[in-house]
Amino acid sequence: MNYQYLATPIGTLRLVSDGTHMTRIEFEGQYRPEPGEREHPDPVLGDCARQLTEYFAGTRREFDLPLAADGTEFQHSVWRSLEAIPYGEVRSYRDIARTIRREKAVRAVGAANGRNPLPVVVPCHRVVGSDGRLTGFAGGLETKAALLRLEGALPAE
């Protein structure tokens, strides 16, 4: 596995690839560097870092990266649905369940959303509770709110 760190307005992210595809994006607190561990960048990581930098600068709304996330077929169906949520918009877990034609699987959708290994790029932050409230996010609710404010889906503070 190759990885590099990227300083962003939401904290330092660790970007992970297998050399040809992005496999994970981890928030601070989700990774623990081993003693003596060194970054090992590759072209995929460089492209991801560039696209994320553009996103945080407000000049990119969609990502174009090769992705290879480990997960079940159900999780992949949820993650594909997340990728279809337009920049600056939100959907509820129930909306996602309907989109994948599993209306009764709202909790399972929430679990799959929470296991998304490629946050920001696969925009799980765009999913909210059915009442519009912000709910769980691996990077924390403050980070989720910051991403939604960046996209204009929440009013600026």
| pLDDT for the residue numbered 37 | 66
Please state the domain count of the chain: 2
Q: What is the mean pLDDT of residues 107-134?
A: 92
| 77 and 140 part of one domain | yes
Please check the confidence at residue 36 and state whether its pLDDT lies above 70.
no
Active-site positions? 124
Q: Which residues have a Cβ under 8 Å from the Cβ of 141 and sit 6 or more positions away?
A: 134, 135
Same domain? For 45 and 90 the reply is no
- pLDDT score, position 143: 93
Domain hosting residue 41, numbered range: 2-57
Residue 74 belongs to what H/E stretch?
helix 73-83
Q: What is the pLDDT of residue 100?
A: 94
Say if CB 121 and CB 48 are below 8 A apart: yes
Give the position of tokens 């404010």: 149
- pLDDT at 34 (0 to 100): 66
**CATH number for the domain harbouring residue 84:** 1.10.10.10
The pLDDT, as a whole number, for residue 142 is 93
What was the pLDDT predicted at 133? 87
Please give the mean pLDDT across all residues of the chain.
Answer: 91
Q: List the CATH number of the domain containing 22.
A: 3.30.160
Dihedral angle, C-alpha 44, 56, 99, 127, nearest 10 °: 130
Same domain? 30 vs 85: no
In tens, the pLDDT along 75-97 reads 999 999 999 999 999 999 999 99
Residue 156 has pLDDT above 90, yes or no: no
What stretches of the chain adopt beta strand conformation (E)?
Answer: 2-8, 11-17, 22-26, 91-92, 127-128
Give mean pLDDT, residues 50-63: 97
Mean pLDDT across 27-49: 83
Residues 117, 87: one domain?
yes
d(CA 113, CA 72): 12
